[in-house]
Amino acid sequence: MQHVMEQFAEKIRECYRDPLDPIATQFMFRRPPTVGELQRPPQVLLLGNHSSGKSTFVNHLLGAGVQKTGVAPTDDGFTIVTYGQVSTDRDGPTVVSNPDLPYEGLRHFGDQLVSHVRLKLRPAELLRTVTLIDSPGMIDEAKSEDGRGYDFPGVVRWFAERADLVMVFFDPDKPGTTGETLRVFKESLAGIEHKLLIILNKVDQFDNLHDFARAYGALCWNLGKVVQRKDLPMIYNTFVPREGKPKSRLPMDDFEKAREDLIEEIRRIPTRRMDNQITQLQAFAERLRLHALVLDAAASRFRMLRARWRSILFLLFAALTGGAVFSGLIIALPAVAVAALAAVALVELVTLPGAKRRIVGRLDEIFEKLHDRELLVRDRAEDLRAMWDEVHPHAREVAEKRGLQSFKKMRWADRTVLDELLQQDIPKLRSNLYDALRGGPAEDAPPRDDRPAA
């Protein structure tokens, strides 16, 4: 399976390399993800109150005592647990200064954070495909926020953006989202709700169903205030069995099942990641296409206008010179030359810049015109408009800063390749991925016709 996934990854990289990167450069669109970003191993970030059972869960997943656990706040750092044939630990400064590891970006959060980062290499099978990141417990008191000495929500955001799954643990003692947890939801997890898995952990601690229902209700109530989604995310109610501990009084079967589902989600990450990367590729290509088409159309409007003005000037100059020569008024030629120069200056310095500003101000109209047919289809119209709203500010900025005259005309071949990529290649890549997951033909399967053409 790993080999098949590697083939998909290579195809995705190929699409970025050609045609997307050259077109993105030509129209100054944002850069595609780097090879390093595309190749980084799938990651799971574990967040939650201190003592909510994150480290215990990590140990359970790996079947080994990798992380220290305990009721007292034993751990105040970020621990990256990844695959290594020999068990070794590396400290923060070594981790962030190693260019082969994808953690150099953490350096700008300062020495205080770096000294709280640790990398553990362990020979556990699961780590071959997934990297786990255990985090310091969030503290539910407002005043504790300054105590860490680094930007905690910022660091969480950094990890969360690069993770494929973010697990947020709550426990019976603190099913609320106050203090730091609230800040983290608002500042670090906004916009990545689709990666969140919410866990009400340690359910074996409840004495009765009534207590469980109260805690579950409190958690839902609190999440409703901070998670920006129309529906409530799925909550996994579970626990990690520990040796020698008394059995819970609640029937545990469903909670055991939830833990199995959770672990299955983690095992599925490599394929989920590939699916995400195809979605990311499609989103990039769709936005690049909009950006490039609109700027190209604006630039050609401007070029046409400029050509028209230049021919008017030329004709005017030719007519005046001809008139002067034919009517024998050679003496008037210097005056004609001065008038021509003044007209050229007026057009180049006033009229054309004004026209350029007007065209840049009308990108919306150009977008509407280019997509008039597509915009008649209702579902498509909403998506398209939302996408254009996202792309517009950058397109406008580029047009204002670079000037429309600097864009080379978009080649017809590039346009066709972009359309083919969106309408055929990417949907086919996705259906091939689904086929491969089902164990069917991985190569050159025809696109499934129930997938929407992009």
Ligand X SMILES: Nc1nc2c(ncn2[C@@H]2O[C@H](COP(=O)(O)OP(=O)(O)O)[C@@H](O)[C@H]2O)c(=O)[nH]1
**Residues of the shown chain interacting with Mg ion in the complex, contacts defined by CB under 5 A:** 55, 75
* Distance set, CA 234 to CA 68, 220, 230, 261 (Å): 29, 10, 12, 12
Taking the C-alpha atoms of residue 354 and residue 89, their distance in angstroms, rounded to an integer, is 63
User: Which pair of tokens denotes residue 162?
Assistant: 């690069």
Q: How far is the CB of 53 from Mg ion (least distance, A)?
A: 8
- Are 81 and 66 spatial neighbours (Cβ–Cβ below 8 Å)? yes
Residues 6+ apart with CB under 8 A from 394: 29, 30, 291
Binding mask 69-108 for ligand X (x = CB under 6 A): xxx-------------------------------------
Q: How far is the CB of 82 from Mg ion (least distance, A)?
A: 17
Q: How far is the CB of 432 from Mg ion (least distance, A)?
A: 40
User: CB under 6 A: which stretch of 48-56, 184-192, 370-378, 384-392 binds ligand X?
Assistant: 48-56
Which residue do the tokens 């206008």 mark?
A: 305
Partner whose footprint covers residue 321, from ligand X, Mg ion, none (CB < 5 to 8 Å by kind): none
Is the omega angle on the peptide bond into residue 19 within 30 degrees of 0, that is, cis? yes
| Pick 131 or 432: Cβ nearer Mg ion | 131
Q: How far is the CB of 74 from Mg ion (least distance, A)?
A: 6
Binding mask 259-298 for ligand X (x = CB under 6 A): ----------------------------------------
Question: How many residues make contact with ligand X (CB under 6 A)?
Answer: 19
Of 16, 28, 133, 204, the residue at the interface with ligand X (CB under 6 A) is: 204
Q: Which of 93, 155, 127, 134 has its CA nearest to residue 269?
A: 127
Q: How far is the CB of 78 from Mg ion (least distance, A)?
A: 11
| Pick 36 or 73: Cβ nearer ligand X | 73
Taking the C-alpha atoms of residue 403 and residue 385, their distance in angstroms, rounded to an integer, is 24
Which residue do the tokens 């929407």 mark?
A: 452
Q: Name residues contacting ligand X, limited to 236-255 (CB under 6 A).
A: 239-240, 242
Q: How far is the CB of 149 from ligand X (least distance, A)?
A: 20
Partner whose footprint covers residue 71, from ligand X, Mg ion, none (CB < 5 to 8 Å by kind): ligand X
Question: Tell me, what amino acid is at 331?
Answer: I
User: CB under 6 A: which stretch of 66-74, 99-107, 178-186, 321-329 binds ligand X?
Assistant: 66-74
User: Which pair of tokens denotes residue 328?
Assistant: 């024998």
Q: Based on the shown chain and the rule CB under 6 A, indicate whether residue 205 belongs to the binding site for ligand X.
A: yes
Q: Based on the shown chain and the rule CB under 6 A, indicate whether residue 38 belongs to the binding site for ligand X.
A: no
Q: Based on the shown chain and the rule CB under 6 A, indicate whether residue 211 belongs to the binding site for ligand X.
A: no
| Pick 43 or 55: Cβ nearer ligand X | 55
Taking the C-alpha atoms of residue 80 and residue 75, their distance in angstroms, rounded to an integer, is 13
Which residue do the tokens 């689709």 mark?
A: 194
Taking the C-alpha atoms of residue 14 and residue 202, their distance in angstroms, rounded to an integer, is 46
User: CB under 6 A: which stretch of 16-24, 47-55, 352-360, 385-393 binds ligand X?
Assistant: 47-55
| Pick 174 or 371: Cβ nearer ligand X | 174
Taking the C-alpha atoms of residue 31 and residue 288, their distance in angstroms, rounded to an integer, is 10
Of 32, 137, 179, 427, the residue at the interface with ligand X (CB under 6 A) is: 137
* Distance set, CA 179 to CA 49, 144, 183, 337 (Å): 11, 9, 7, 75
Measured from each CB, the residue nearest to Mg ion is 55
Q: What is the DSSP letter of 138?
A: B
Q: Name residues contacting ligand X, limited to 320-379 (CB under 6 A).
A: none
Other Cβ atoms within 10 Å of 272 Cβ, number: 16
Q: What is the DSSP letter of 332?
A: G
Which residues of this chain interact with ligand X, rule CB under 6 A?
48, 50-56, 69-71, 137, 201-202, 204-205, 239-240, 242
